[in-house]
A and B are shown apart, each in its own frame.
Chain A
Amino acid sequence: MPYRVVHYINQFFGQVGGEDKADTQPFIKEGVVGPGMALKGALGQDAVIVATVICGDGYFNENLETAKAEVLSMVERYSPDIFIAGPAFNAGRYGVACGAICKEVKEKLGIPVITGMYPENPGVDLYKKDAYVVKTSDSAAGMRKAVPLMANLAIKLLKGEAIGSPDEDSYIERGIRKNVFKNELGAKRAVDMLVAKLSGAEFTTEYPMPAFDRVTPNPPIKDMSNAKVALVTSGGIVPKGNPDKIESSSASKYGRYSIAGVEALTADTYETAHGGYDPVYANADPNRVLPVDVMRELEKEGVIGKLYDYYYATVGNGTSVANAMKYAQAIAKDLIADGVQAVILTST
């Protein structure tokens, strides 16, 4: 009897629609949909995808508790032996949804759970301990490489075979420590590693240091009524026409735009360049993403001292962590040089 698999995908891969359908509530279809076709092929005779749950990324992320419960009850009905979500590649909301639903299914149904993501997907750090996250490339172009890896890992888990190291089985390291026996004494292995390091030869650490990069919070503003506050956004709000041509995804730049004398953003003068959310609402009223109108009022009322004359914008859709860091460092430098004392950063 083949193992039973339930697959979870978002509205885009579920053939429902793009960002405009991100609010799709979960529903279930028998058999395979979209990437499930590839997964089916890769699983071969050992397992069959009995059903596919499709849910909008926006709906899931904005209604975490209800969405998890709804999806779980759908999954449960099909008595799966294993649950597979995605792959989500670098799509942030999709990755968070896949991770969250995997964790829920694992905890409530006690079955193995697998998903696939690009290492920079925020879903990775949040859920790598709860689900096996197969390492994928950063876009759906990598579907054909990702699916067989996920299928192989799935079969191993179903058959109860030993799961190898992250490298061997292509998943992202989970930070889980497992005691193993090695043939050589630890002392000898350590000395061998040291000798290799000193002589410039290659070596592999047995314990990679985790990268905890938390920054201590800065002290609060004491006198807001005299403070200069700046607005920054990753929601892609730009002057109409996107003069700097900030990309809708994987932004290679950020913009600095003057709002001196601007009372409020309007649909005629501004727009969003962000391709990762439904732009309708932001284009109709850009203040919904960059609240210039309210900040201007508060400035007039004396709640804040001054709204900085410039705002900074980029598109936070699949932007690499390295680039985001670079932009923010440059932006912060400018702000400090101009006497800005606090920042409100809005994201979608």
Chain B
Amino acid sequence: MDLEIQQRVKDMAEKYGPENVIVILGSSEAEAAGLAAETVSNGDPTYAGPLAGISLGLAVYHILEPEVKAEIDPTVYDNEVGMMEMVLDVEEISKEVSSIREQFSNI
């Protein structure tokens, strides 16, 4: 996850309290999604950014996950995400992110 974004997530968690922050990812493939998810929940696994060694335990989801889709107006979702939903590996990405969430998110 981009170093600047790591810093912003860290700042937001400090400002609002980690229990009040949810991260929703849009990565287009499972490995990147998993790394980003792990970064905001268990710490940057590449140890390159501000979240290195810092476990925020944030709740993290991916926009393609069914529980997120269910919260969004279907027309809006279709307009904004519909195309990517067709071409990306929804199952693989969802599996990756939800597994990280189960392991590291404090929810």
Chain A 23-45 near chain B by CB (<8 Å), digits 1 or 0: 00000000000111110000000
Cα A13 to Cα B35 with chains together (Å): 16
| Interface of B (DSSP majority class) | loop
Pair B53/A141 contact, Cβ less than 8 Å:
no
Within 8 A of A (CB), among B21-68: 31, 35, 45-50, 52-53
CA distance A18 to B2 in the complex (A): 10
Shortest Cβ distance from B14 into chain A, in angstroms?
17
Q: Is A15 an interface residue (CB 8 A)?
A: yes
Let me know if B47 and A38 touch, CB within 8 A: yes
1/0 contact trace for A1-26 toward B, CB 8 Å? 00000000000110100100000000
In-complex Cβ contact of B45 among A13, A15, A141 (8 A):
A141
Distance of A144 Cα from B47 Cα, bound (Å): 9
* Interchain CB contact under 8 A, B52 and A34: yes
Number of A-B residue pairs at CB separation under 8 A: 32
Q: Which of the four size classes fits the interface of chain A?
A: 10 to 19
B35 touches A35 (CB 8 A): no
The chain B residue sitting closest to A18, CB to CB, is: B3
Q: Given A34-B52, A37-B52, are A143 and B47 neighbors across the interface (CB < 8 Å)?
A: yes
CB atoms of A140 and B31 under 8 A apart: no
Q: Is the pair A37, B31 in contact by a Cβ cutoff of 8 Å?
A: no
Instruction: Report whether B47 and A34 are in contact in the complex, using a CB–CB cutoff of 8 Å.
Output: yes
In whole angstroms, how far apart are the Cα atoms of A38 and B47 in the complex?
8
Set of chain B residues within 8 Å of A140, measured between Cβ atoms: 46-48
A144 to B52, CA, bound (A): 12
Report the bound CA distance from A12 to B49 in whole Å. Answer: 8
Give Cα distance in the complex from A141 to B47, angstroms.
Answer: 10
Q: Identify the A interface with B (CB < 8 A).
A: 12-13, 15, 18, 34-38, 140-141, 143-144
A34-B47, A143-B45 known; 9 other A-B pairs, CB under 8 Å? Answer: A15-B52, A18-B3, A35-B47, A36-B47, A37-B47, A38-B47, A141-B46, A143-B47, A144-B45
